[in-house]
Each structure stands twice: as C-alpha cells, then as structure tokens.
Homo-oligomer: A and B are copies of this chain.
Amino acid sequence: MRTAEPLHLRLLRLLRDHGTISRAELADRLEIPRPRLLGEIDRLVALGYVAEAGMAASRGGRRSTLVELNPRLRFAAVDLGASSVDVEVTNGRLEPVAAYTESADIRSGPKVILQRVNELLAKAKVDGAYEKLDAVGIGVPGPVSFRDGVPVSPPIMPGWDRFPVRELLTREHGCPAVVDNDVNIMAVGERHGGVAHSVDDFLFVKIGTGIGCGIYLSGEVYRGTDGCAGDIGHIQVDSHGPMCTCGNVGCLEALFSGAALAKDATLAARNGTSPALVDRLAANGTVTARDVAEAASEGDVTCIRLIRDGGRRIGGVLAGLVSFANPSMIVIGGGLAHLGHILLAEIRSVVYRRSLPLATGNLPVVLSELGPRAGVTGAAVLASDVAFEQAS
C-alpha cells in the first residue's frame, strides 16, 4: 500500500532542487497551512538542516523571510567502476565542492578500494571541503541488496559478495550511507539533472565495460525482487555466439561492450581490414573502443560496420524491452556512448522498426546529458535522500 511522502522530505527536497525560497512561497508550493509549515521549518532549523537566508522582496503584505538548506550540509558521492573510482563532495544543493577521479581495479577487493575512497575523502576534508559529512552515497558495478546495503553475488567483483559496504562507511564517517548498483545511480543522476529530468518511466542503458539498465517506473527506481533488475547484459542474442564471462553463450555483452569491441577492433587491425586501426595498433600497441569511434568518424568502413553491428544487437534487446515495459524515454550512457550518432541511429532504427507502433509513437532514444558525471550525481541524490529521511 502506498504511503504519502512526509512533509520534511518534501520540504528538504524542494530546498535542494530549487535553492533559497521564501516561507510564503514554500507554503504555496507545498500546499500546506502556514502555521504547520512554520513549525516544521523551526524544527528543521534546530536540527541543522535548514538555515535563515534574509528577507524576501515584499509581496504586498508583511515581508516573508527566506530559507535555504544549511550551507554546511555535505554529502559524499562515490561511483565505483570496474577500473575507476570517482569521488565528489557536494553541498546540500548537490553542487560539487571537491572532486577526485582515479584508476582502480575493483577486483582489488572491498578493503583496498574502500580504504582508497576513505583516503580521498580524508584529503577532501584536509582541503577544507567539509567538516563533517551528512551522508554518503555509493554505486558499485554489480547487483546490490538495496535494503541490506551490500553487494550480492557480483560477477566482476571478487571478494565483495555480502561485504558490509554501508556499515563500514556509516562507521567510518558517522553518518548514514546508501549503496546501490552503478547503473541505478546513473539513472537517478540523469533524472535529477539530465535529459530525463522529471520523466517518470524511462530506461537508462549503460554501455561500457559491461551492459546494464537502470529502470525508472512511476517515478521510482525499480530494483526488482532481489535488487538485480536491469541486468540486460546477459540476455542471449545469438545462440551460436561467443562464450560470455558468465558461462553462457551469445550474451549481449559478449557481442557488444567495451571489451567485445576492443577484441573485434584488434582483430580488424591484425587482419588489415581496417587501415585506420592498423595505424593505431602500430602506434600504440593496442586498440580500444575509443580508437574505433575516432576511426569511424574519419569514415573507416570497418569501424562504422562494427558500431552498426553493435547498435543492431543493442537495438534488438531494447525493442523487446520497449514492448515489455512501454517506457516514455530511453537514455544511452556509459563509456561507449561516445560512439555517438552512428550507434544511436542504428539503435533507433531497430527499436522503431521492431517494437509495437503504439509504444514507439512518442519514444525518444537519446544520449545521456551528464556523461561520466551521471553516476556521482545520482549517488549524491541518494545520499541527500537518506540524510533527509533522518530529519523525521
């Protein structure tokens, strides 16, 4: 059964998303009686969530005072990738006040990686980014039990299964923490500050080292019964296809992902079918997905074909998901999104041809606006939500 959002959550989110605002306008926007609002604001000021911010311009009668989130609020947002760590510290309005990005292998295990996260946060503190954190949000590249705050059987994260990530961060920083899947936090970020702003039903498809899907239904992240909804990288697209790391054959991400594309590109460089990739292999010793993107933009036909083939595979899976879920938008993000419009055109072509016309009549298929910042943005949103919930 659905329950209404508590007033303090609605109020704090409004201040987070709209900034400084007068008491009078708050009462109008939240549609609640003024005495109740004023009492609630006083309570949140006393708790340190809200601060006074001077007088508003007159609306005719008595001038209303402005309020804002306490300028000292600080959230830590962490996005762990297969091979990278992104850490941001934000203020209450989710504007970054410190940001760090570095390489790290998730397979080093939770102790090493979370130690490094804590070191980066300690550095931010020394640099003056915060005195005390109010919440930490973290995304990890694998399935998560959102309720328990732990990764669950994550295929590419050896040593992380059921590791108490939330508990460790809570203890270390003395504040609430929230753990989610990396694709879910990207979807949350894109809805908060990107192309899916205020869209209630959409799919965020991450095409990177692996492939995953963040699902927004009726305005909320849908995580499924075990927290692993959106694991579309292992949908079989070719029963005669190559072996996947998961042990099955012909999975989507075995055919098209950062790893699969680099492998196909290396082959095309070695057998000479792509002159552009031959040059790059000779110059750098390896070829990557980024080389394919560059060569394609220079008109290399083999690279264009590789991207189109991949787009066709992704499009086929998405066409099925559109028929199933009937979303109102599809956002394409992740490292391979930089393959850009060749990829997007092929995905669109398959989705529009293969799905029910009713479902695609008004269905934008678009690139992520936030790009590599989608993850940390979403982690900051989740951190602020969990901090605001404490204000009950």
Q: How many residues of A contact B (CB 8 A)?
A: 50
Which of B153, B229, B317, B328 sits near A325, CB closer than 8 Å? Answer: B229
CB pair A320 B232 closer than 8 Å: yes
Q: With a CB–CB cut-off of 8 A, which chain B residues contact A323?
A: 228, 231-232, 234-235
| CB within 8 Å for A326 and B225 given contacts A234-B356, A319-B236 | yes
Question: Does residue A3 face the partner (Cβ distance < 8 Å to B)?
Answer: yes
> Roughly how many angstroms separate A324 CA and B317 CA in the complex, as a whole number?
10
> Roughly how many angstroms separate A2 CA and B218 CA in the complex, as a whole number?
9
* Oligomer copy total: 2
Q: Which of A115-123, A338-346, A357-365 contacts B (4 or more CB under 8 A)?
A: A357-365
Which residues of A55-111 are within 8 A (CB) of B? none
Q: With a CB–CB cut-off of 8 A, which chain B residues contact A316?
A: 236
CB pair A358 B2 closer than 8 Å: no
Q: A217-B222, A235-B323 are in contact. List 13 more A-B contacts (CB 8 A).
A: A1-B5, A2-B5, A215-B325, A223-B326, A224-B325, A224-B327, A227-B326, A229-B326, A230-B326, A231-B323, A234-B355, A248-B354, A324-B324
CB pair A324 B235 closer than 8 Å: yes
* Interface residues as binary, A228-251 with B (CB distance below 8 Å gives 1, 0 otherwise): 111110111000000000001000
Q: With a CB–CB cut-off of 8 A, which chain B residues contact A152?
A: 358
